[in-house]
């Protein structure tokens, strides 16, 4: 290959890496937005963009999305309350399954109290 071909291949590889990094940062925005549902997505995008800009000169690019996500979460934690993913999944499940709502409230659909998952097998008739 000559120098022009090498330079063109290098530019193509660089732009592919940049596209992959941008896709990773878009995923960071989505994850952080889910974790902070009370914060506007535009604010999350701004914070993620600010954090990515601070690492613009980094030579090793593999860890940029992880570092950006960590710093963005730390900044937003100061401004808003995060929602754990497990808590969010529990809320979604409760919303879609009335039986879970009754059980979570300490009752069962037949009106009796639940002994809970650990004691349920120890009681007669459960």
Domain borders along the chain are: 3-79
Segment 71-79 shows an average pLDDT of 93
Quick one: pLDDT band at residue 96, thresholds 50, 70, 90? low
Nearest to 61 by CA among 10, 28, 17, 15: 17
Query: What count of Cα atoms within 13 Å lies in the side-chain half-sphere of residue 26?
Result: 6
Condensed to tens digits (0 to 9), the pLDDT of residues 56-71 reads 999 999 999 999 999 9
């Amino acid at each position: 290959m000559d120098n022009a071909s090498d330079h063109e291949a290098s530019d193509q590889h660089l732009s592919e890496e940049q596209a992959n990094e941008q896709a990773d940062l878009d995923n960071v925005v989505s994850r952080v937005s889910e974790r902070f549902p009370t914060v506007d997505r535009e604010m999350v995008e701004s914070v993620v963009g600010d954090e990515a800009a601070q690492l613009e000169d980094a030579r090793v690019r593999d860890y940029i999305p992880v570092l950006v996500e960590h710093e963005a979460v730390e900044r937003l934690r100061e401004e808003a309350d995060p929602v754990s993913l497990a808590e969010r999944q529990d809320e979604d499940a409760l919303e879609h399954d009335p039986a879970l709502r009754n059980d979570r409230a300490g009752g069962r659909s037949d009106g009796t109290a639940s002994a809970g998952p650990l004691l349920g097998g120890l009681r007669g008739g459960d």
